[in-house]
Amino acid sequence: MRKNYLFLFLIIILAAGKTKGEDKPIVFVGANLLTMGDLGQIENGSLKIAGGKIIEIGKTINISDNDIVFEADGKWIMPGIVVPYTHIGIRGDNLSSDIDETSDTYSPQLRAIDALYPFSKELEAAKNAGLTVLHIVPGGKEVFSGQTGIIKPIGRSRKEMSLKNVCGLKINFGEQPKKPKGSPSSRMGIAWIIRKNFFAAQSYLKKLQKYEKSGDEEDKPAEDAKLAVLARVLEGEIPVFAECFRADDIMTAIRISEEFKFRLVLMYATEAYKVVDEIKSRNISVIIAPIRSLWYRVERENRKIETAAILSRAGIKIAIQAGGGNPYGELDMPMFAAYTVKGGLDQNEALKAITIYPAQILGIEETKGSLKKGKDADFIILDRHPFDVLSKIENVFIEGHEVYTKEKK
């Protein structure tokens, strides 16, 4: 049963009204598929979804009389965008922002998910822009700013929206956590606050392990919500996401991660090109902001348009974030990725840096980040290649549900 693409949204709405068991498979045929996986780009390809999952994809697939088929000739289909760093949903639509808790510079127990406002206008805009996964992170004003989380931009509650309540621990280096009239007031102070608390976490973890082995209540350490989070880092359960810009701050983060043997992911990393070998030799991933979003901090003055390309060519896994300077920059994520191509990054690598690579860094690649049989049906349909400045998103799907349809004129 073939349908004109123009009426896609009507049919999807009807199909969505059925229970999962009664859903008919939906097939898109004739599209250019940017899979971001082993299948690469498929011209004139087909994509079949059912039950919220991709059930078949390829140049030619089996189509039954029971399938709802849509002609997608000339359209481009790519995975939903995975945003590796954002404050969307927690920074407030107007004056209220919950990204920083400034009462304590050491707050690892805080969770970004607890600041989420499900009815934020930003979430609606994000969904419509094809951002199907958001890694929400606390701000950078404190050294330990809290735990990050992963959400979908749809739902009416944190429970409905959350993919991971906790993804990692955010730690901040450089100028922003420094306090002119308090502590820390220097990079020395920042490093000591981090090391001091990880020393305490090591002691806490030893006591906890002794108690778990002995079962003796006298060995049980006192409850400490802050140290419990750091203990999870030390045991390898969650990574540290380190926000740093200058090369010396990057190396401090690396040095501390080696001292305490925890997994490290760099964020922003403006001067990463200066220490490429150090990053590569330790297999550290980097979430990088393109040059045009880094305009307002002195520690970003040595930014280079070629940084993403330099890291990628060295074999370092990168993901692209929108960065600061434009609070709604995430809504234009394909253009941020395209900007790195201007700096020499391979076009396909740039697309992977906003889809499968951030999914891998965040540990959700089994269900998100690429078009592959068995994965969640998160995808975007565009009228042109996503790097075409004139391209428009026509439809957005999250877990098989059409969540946005471009208004037909």
pLDDT in tens, 110-165: 999 999 999 999 999 999 999 999 999 999 999 999 999 999 999 999 999 999 99
Asked if residue 89 has pLDDT above 80, the reply is yes
pLDDT in tens, 34-83: 999 999 999 999 999 999 999 999 999 999 999 999 999 999 999 999 99
pLDDT in tens, 281-306: 999 999 998 776 555 667 878 889 99
The residue assigned the tokens 């037909």 is 408
Sheet of 169-172: strands edge to edge?
144-147, 169-172, 240-244, 264-268, 285-288, 318-320
pTM (predicted TM-score) = 0.94
158: CB partners within 8 A, 6+ apart: 113, 114, 116, 118, 151
390: CB partners within 8 A, 6+ apart: 384
Instruction: Give the residues across from 243 on adjacent strands.
Output: 172, 267
> Buried b vs exposed e over 202-213: b needs ≥16 C-beta within 10 Å?
bebbeebeeeee
The residue extents of the domains of the chain are 2-79+370-405, 81-362
Asked if residue 395 has pLDDT above 70, the reply is yes
36 touches 350 (CB < 8 A): no
At 326, the pLDDT band (50, 70, 90 cuts) reads: low
Instruction: Using a pLDDT cut of 70, give the percent of the chain over it.
Output: 90
Of 3.20.20.140, 3.20.20.10, 3.30.450.20, 3.30.1120.80, the CATH number of 81-362 is: 3.20.20.140
Asked if residue 10 has pLDDT above 60, the reply is no
Q: Which two tokens stand for residue 277?
A: 């070998």
Per-residue model confidence (pLDDT) at position 17 = 46
The residue assigned the tokens 């951030």 is 358
At 332, the pLDDT band (50, 70, 90 cuts) reads: confident
Q: Does 2.30.40.10 match the CATH number of domain 2-79+370-405?
A: yes
Cα–Cα distance measured from residue 335 to residue 332, given in angstroms and rounded to the nearest whole number:
6
Q: Which two tokens stand for residue 296?
A: 């307002």
Per-residue model confidence (pLDDT) at position 249 = 98
